[in-house]
Amino acid sequence: MFELKFRAYCEICKRYLIVIMLKLSFTPLLITTFPTKTKSPRLFSTITNTLTQNPQTVRQNATTKSTNTPPHKLPPKSAYVHLPFCRKRCHYCDFPIIALGSSSAPDNDPRIVNYVQTLCREIKATPENSNPNPPLETVFFGGGTPSLVPPKLVSLVLETLRSKFGVSSEAEISMEMDPGTFDGGKLKVLTDLGVNRVSLGVQAFQDDLLKACGRAHGVKEVYEAIDILKSWGVENWSMDLISSLPHQTPQMWEESLKLTLQAQPTHVSVYDLQVEKDTKFGVLYNPGEFPLPSEDLSAEFYRMASRMLTNAGYNHYEISSYCKSGYMCKHNFTYWKNNPFYGFGLGSASYVNGTRFSRPRKLKDFMNYVQNLEDGVMNCGDDSVDAKDLAMDVLMLSLRTARGLDLKSFGEAFGCDLVLSLCKVYQPYVASGHIVLLDDRRRSITADEFSSLLSDDDKMSEVVAFLRLSDPDGFLLSNELISHAFGVIDS
């Protein structure tokens, strides 16, 4: 369940920005009484909808002032692999998936075999970024429901990746799995192949809600799946949950969070439902209106998750991600660091050599794309990207994390003046507690200290080392805060 999107209209800069969006990730909410220029709380999520029709967006040529190869241009050490098959489409899903239907026997479904063969051809035909490519450190099988794919085909993909790039023996190899699609035998084969991390798509602990979402499993299958993971000793697994579902009450959400804690996953991902136009939910419901929760209630769901999971010892290391100490998802962290990654398969996105590229979302177009890649006639376009776009990407991605933006290295790459302007534009938000400034030992700078720094640029550059959004209020206001920064970068 992973997708990157590349363009959004910024109402402050009055132009389209190339940005990255995570689908099903946190929906921005405007819940503060703080005066603001921004009138579109769902800025990125709504605007990007109209732009997904043309996913072939390519970026190239990002440069920084540094003469060394900047990190985003180094050869990727991460690969996302899209395995699009599902039993049926969930009512909130607009991902590039292929619904097999309930009668299909995935073990010998020719649609899966053909797709995986094409996927392997794509991997083989991918131009190498450098010779030799460093071995992959992370591989992420997303979907769709990757656990529906027969393990021998997963093995084929891994073998292809190994012979093409190499896969480090320490690599994190994650797979999204849905309750009801695997048993102990299948899990054992997958772990023997090297899969060492599972993202379990639970979404909710109420049968009525699961049914209303069109999920192919119930709560009974959720418990069975958890038992299978535990009895096989899978240490690294994530519970994926969705908040703001239709008819979801605070009591239900609290129950889901409690049951999540009881299951003791080492990682939890919490996504706020985004209602996409071309889905069943998009036809049935309007965001913010019954039976969907109001924006205030969605914000309350977000706060409740943050409070309960943090109190139970999880680190809230990214807007939608929580983990026990040391169990961060390394693959996803490459995104937040703006590091490069390969993408393989239907609709998947890659970021290689400063170029973002989205593969076709329709199977036939994807097949043609792979053929063209093999024939060496792939035109990757030449939408050039400048330092401004790069600065926006780095800023937006860093502000999603608890670490925040490293102002020293941001200043080195994009200029200290920019850092000073950012600090200044955020002054009211430092005062309101939405933004936290930290020194190089990560002690927070008080609003009073900050006021005194405002008159002394040199001191400011020296003292302020990190800028982060507060949890939960800053995270809840992330899109507004990020678009203010875009305004500064763009001016």
Q: Which residues contribute to the site for ligand NAG (CB under 6 A)?
A: 1-2, 22, 25, 61, 63, 129, 172, 174, 196, 199, 235-236, 238, 240, 267, 269, 321, 326-327, 329-330, 332, 353-354, 384, 386
Least gap, CB of 387 to ligand NAG (angstroms) = 8
Residue whose tokens read 């390519």: 58
Using DSSP bridges, classify how beta strands 167-177 and 197-203 pair: parallel, antiparallel or unpaired.
parallel
- Specify the residue, 275 or 407, whose C-beta has the smaller distance to ligand NAG: 275
- As a whole number of angstroms, the distance between CA 50 and CA 134 comes to 38
Residue whose tokens read 């961060």: 328
Least gap, CB of 378 to ligand NAG (angstroms) = 12
Least gap, CB of 425 to ligand NAG (angstroms) = 26
Measured from the Cβ of residue 370, the count of other Cβ atoms closer than 10 Å reads 23
- Specify the residue, 109 or 172, whose C-beta has the smaller distance to ligand NAG: 172
Least gap, CB of 424 to ligand NAG (angstroms) = 28
- Specify the residue, 46 or 332, whose C-beta has the smaller distance to ligand NAG: 332
- As a whole number of angstroms, the distance between CA 239 and CA 437 comes to 31
Buried b (16+ CB within 10 A) or exposed e, 206-241: beebbebbebbbebebbeebbebbeeeebebbbbbb
Least gap, CB of 453 to ligand NAG (angstroms) = 34
SS3 167: strand
- Specify the residue, 387 or 431, whose C-beta has the smaller distance to ligand NAG: 387
| Beta bridge pairs of residue 467 | 405, 437
- Specify the residue, 1 or 469, whose C-beta has the smaller distance to ligand NAG: 1
- Specify the residue, 1 or 395, whose C-beta has the smaller distance to ligand NAG: 1
Least gap, CB of 351 to ligand NAG (angstroms) = 12
Sequence-ordered list of residues with C-beta below 8 angstroms from that of 333, at least 6 positions apart, any chain = 318
Least gap, CB of 81 to ligand NAG (angstroms) = 13
- Specify the residue, 25 or 160, whose C-beta has the smaller distance to ligand NAG: 25
Secondary structure of 397-423 as H, E, C letters: HHHCECCCEEHHHHHHHHCHHHHHHHH
